């Protein structure tokens, strides 16, 4: 008897190559709405890389072959270098070549420049999140450096170069540069004012001594860091090489063994009489480095939205090819509900994150937009980096056991999903930042409230939520205790208003019914009557 036991049946084929920009209708609409369509060709070029089998394999190789610390050479000398797989370097080359690090700065004043650049980051993170970390820091460092123009003039040309140069060499000998940051210390975490690293004047520079608990991408060419200087907590630029082209003391003590983000090296470092230069005024280190952090927080929100899209894309593809109980999953009402519910979540996240990016564009000339962005970026970062975790888990479940297997893509996405909620300030830090904005920068919360009031009268469910927000704000004595509740409602109200204004009616109605209409707590609980066909056509 001839028995075949290994015939492969009822498995979804690999995703064919696709354009991750052109096939993402909500993203295309959003980029056009806020002025970034002039970059459509550039976005499609990166979108085709992000949607290619070759790009997917690069991500797999970079994660399986993790970075390795080479602290000493074979003779015992400190070298403090990190070795990466060639796939990682190729991914970094792609990011720089497509200007994920520079598009906004290379187009100063052009409408939609930050929106277009955020769309590049959204797509790039779908390719691989680990390389998005050094690329986003390289982009984000520019506003902080400009606090000291002579420092910016020295470093910006290398930062804005489209060339990726991984060699360990002085900046003057490299075709392009990358930047990182080193703030966190083990005794303080997000409480950077508890930092104990000390900076002592040394001629035109400073000598730093201290330990940094979390320094991602230690192979970068330079880092912004915080230390206690003569005037208090101050921001300093620490290069890997000294002005005389000899290595600076930058001791990489170990690499972190992280839950996810495996392609990216995160480390503990020590400064021992390490040379650096001051950036920004003395004693204003937090304010100076927050200009960098603000940019990275926007990137956290847009990258989380992109990760949602990628997770849903895999789930939808699987459902279109997998049969159960005699029907394709995509044809089964309950699975359609699950997928549609995730689609409206993605669309709401894209609208909120790119609304904040649009405030970066317009904030240079519109004080109201600048004020709105200051508070809204913390709201968006908090909420979207929370929502991506549950959505990715649901998308993994759509695959059944395949989703839980490490040789399928969902396991990597699932491990990546929580990162945004802890990077650049945990959820509590974001919520407290919103409260601080209310207290110290009333214009920022006034701008958010003005935006919300513009939505009033468009839907009774949203009006009810706006009333709840007003009630929350009327009891300041317990506001810190209720900060998460307040920020959640602010995020939902912003998303609801944006959906009503910009999303197709079936998508907006499904979101409002599911989030503000007394819907269920899990994905797949949209009520009867929602137009699932119209929603899934956009997925």
Q: How many residues does the chain have?
A: 539
Q: What is the CA radius of gyration of the chain?
A: 24
Contacts 24+ apart (CB under 8 A), 24-32: 24/309, 25/538, 26/346, 26/347, 26/350, 26/351, 26/503, 26/538, 27/119, 27/122, 27/309, 27/350, 29/502, 30/115, 30/350, 30/351, 30/354, 30/502, 31/112, 31/115, 31/116, 31/119, 31/354
DSSP-derived letter for residue 175 is S
DSSP sequence for 32-64: HHTT-GGGHHHHHHHHHHHTSHHHHHHHHHHHH
- Calpha distance 321→327 (Å, rounded): 10
> What is the DSSP pairing of strand 179-182 with strand 222-229?
parallel
End-to-end CA distance of the chain: 46
- Closest of 374, 376, 368, 365 to residue 108, by C-alpha: 365
CA distance linking residue 367 with residue 163, whole number of Å: 35
**pLDDT on residue 186:** 87
Report the pLDDT value the prediction gives residue 189, as an integer from 0 to 100. Answer: 73
Name the fold adopted by 179-285: Butyryl-CoA Dehydrogenase, subunit A; domain 2 (2.40.110)
What span, in angstroms and rounded, lies between the C-alpha atoms of 301 and 6? 44
The answer to whether 177 and 169 have CB atoms below 8 angstroms apart is no
Three-state secondary-structure class, residue 460: helix
> 201 exposed, middle or buried (CB, 10 Å; 0-12, 13-18, 19+)?
exposed
Give the pLDDT score at 2: 64
Rounded to an integer, what distance in angstroms lies between the CA atom of residue 433 and that of residue 379?
Answer: 9
Q: State the pLDDT at residue 1.
A: 57
Which residues are bridge partners to 226 per DSSP? 235
Tell me how far apart the alpha carbons of residues 204 and 97 are, in angstroms, rounded to a whole number: 35
The pLDDT, as a whole number, for residue 3 is 67
Q: Structural domain boundaries of the chain?
A: 25-173, 179-285, 287-537
* 298 touches 356 (CB < 8 A): yes
Per-residue pLDDT of the chain (539 residues), as tens digits, is: 566 778 889 999 999 999 999 999 999 999 999 999 999 999 999 999 999 999 999 999 999 999 999 999 999 999 999 999 999 999 999 999 999 999 999 999 999 999 999 999 999 999 999 999 999 999 999 999 999 999 999 999 999 999 999 999 999 999 999 999 998 898 867 788 788 999 999 999 999 999 999 999 999 999 999 999 999 999 999 999 999 999 999 999 999 999 999 999 999 999 999 999 999 999 999 999 999 999 999 999 999 999 999 999 999 999 999 999 999 999 999 999 999 999 999 999 999 999 999 999 999 899 999 999 999 999 999 999 999 999 999 999 999 999 999 999 999 999 999 999 998 889 999 999 999 998 998 999 999 999 999 999 999 999 999 999 999 999 999 999 999 999 999 999 999 999 999 999 999 999 999 999 988 999 999 999 999 999 999 99
The DSSP code sequence of 208-227 is EEEEEEEEE-TTSSEEEEEE
pLDDT on residue 192: 80
Fold of 287-537: Butyryl-CoA Dehydrogenase, subunit A; domain 3 (1.20.140)
Angle between helix axes 113-127 and 333-362 (nearest 10 degrees) is 140
CA–CA distance, 97 with 106 (Å, rounded to integer): 13
The structure's pTM equals: 0.96
Q: What is the pLDDT of residue 191?
A: 81
Q: What is the dihedral of CA 438, 444, 447, 452, to 10 degrees?
A: -50
Cβ contacts of 25 within 8 Å, gap of 6 or more: 538
Please name every residue paired with 72 in a beta bridge, in sequence order, or none if there are none. Answer: 78
Element (H, E) at 431: helix 427-440
Q: Contact, 271 vs 265, CB < 8 A?
A: no
């Amino acid at each position: 008897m001839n028995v075949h036991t290994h015939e492969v049946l009822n498995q979804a084929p690999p995703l064919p190559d696709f354009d991750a920009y052109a096939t993402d209708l909500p993203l295309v609409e959003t980029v056009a709405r806020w002025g970034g369509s002039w970059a459509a060709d550039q976005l499609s070029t990166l979108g085709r890389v992000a949607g290619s089998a070759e790009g997917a394999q690069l991500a797999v190789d970079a994660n399986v072959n993790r970075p390795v610390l080479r602290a000493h050479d074979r003779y015992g000398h400190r070298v403090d270098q990190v070795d990466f797989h060639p796939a990682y370097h190729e991914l970094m080359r792609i990011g720089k070549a497509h200007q994920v690090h520079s598009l906004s700065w290379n187009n100063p004043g052009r409408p939609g420049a930050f929106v277009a650049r955020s769309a590049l980051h959204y797509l790039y993170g779908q390719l691989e999140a680990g390389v998005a970390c050094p690329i986003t820091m390289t982009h984000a460092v520019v506003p902080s450096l400009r606090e000291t123009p002579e420092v910016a003039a020295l470093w910006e040309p290398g930062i804005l170069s489209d060339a990726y140069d991984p060699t360990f060499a002085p900046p003057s000998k490299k075709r392009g540069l990358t930047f990182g940051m080193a703030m966190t210390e083990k005794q303080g975490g997000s409480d950077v004012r508890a930092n104990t690293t000390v900076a002592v004047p040394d001629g035109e520079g400073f000598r730093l001594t201290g330990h940094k608990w979390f320094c991602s991408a230690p192979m970068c060419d330079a880092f912004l860091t915080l230390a206690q200087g003569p005037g208090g907590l101050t921001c300093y630029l620490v290069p890997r090489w000294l002005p005389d082209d000899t290595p600076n003391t930058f001791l990489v003590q170990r690499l972190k063994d992280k839950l996810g983000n495996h392609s990216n090296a995160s480390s503990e470092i020590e400064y021992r009489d390490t040379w650096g230069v001051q950036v920004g005024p003395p004693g204003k280190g937090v304010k100076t480095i927050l200009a960098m952090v603000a940019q990275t927080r926007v990137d956290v929100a847009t990258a989380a939205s992109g990760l949602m899209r990628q997770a849903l894309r895999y789930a939808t593809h699987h459902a279109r090819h997998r049969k159960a109980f005699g029907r394709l999953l995509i044809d089964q009402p309950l699975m359609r509900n699950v997928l549609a519910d995730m689609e409206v979540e993605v669309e709401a996240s894209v609208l909120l994150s790119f609304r904040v990016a649009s405030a970066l564009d317009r904030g240079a000339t519109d004080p109201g937009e600048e004020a709105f962005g200051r508070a809204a970026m913390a709201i968006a970062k908090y909420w979207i980096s929370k929502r991506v975790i549950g959505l990715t888990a649901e998308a993994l479940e759509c695959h059944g056991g395949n989703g839980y297997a490490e040789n399928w893509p969902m396991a990597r996405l699932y491990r990546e999903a929580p990162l945004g909620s802890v990077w650049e300030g945990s959820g509590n830090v974001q919520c407290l930042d919103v409260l601080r904005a209310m207290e110290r920068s009333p214009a920022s919360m006034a701008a958010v409230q003005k935006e919300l009031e513009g939505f009033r009268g468009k839907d009774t469910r949203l009006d009810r939520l706006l009333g709840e927000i007003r009630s929350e704000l009327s009891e300041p004595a317990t506001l810190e205790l209720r900060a998460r509740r307040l920020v959640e409602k602010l995020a939902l109200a912003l998303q609801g208003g944006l959906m009503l204004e910009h999303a197709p009616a079936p998508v907006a109605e499904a979101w409002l019914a599911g989030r503000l209409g007394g819907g269920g707590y899990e994905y797949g609980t949209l009520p009867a009557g929602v137009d699932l066909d119209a929603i899934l056509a956009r997925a």
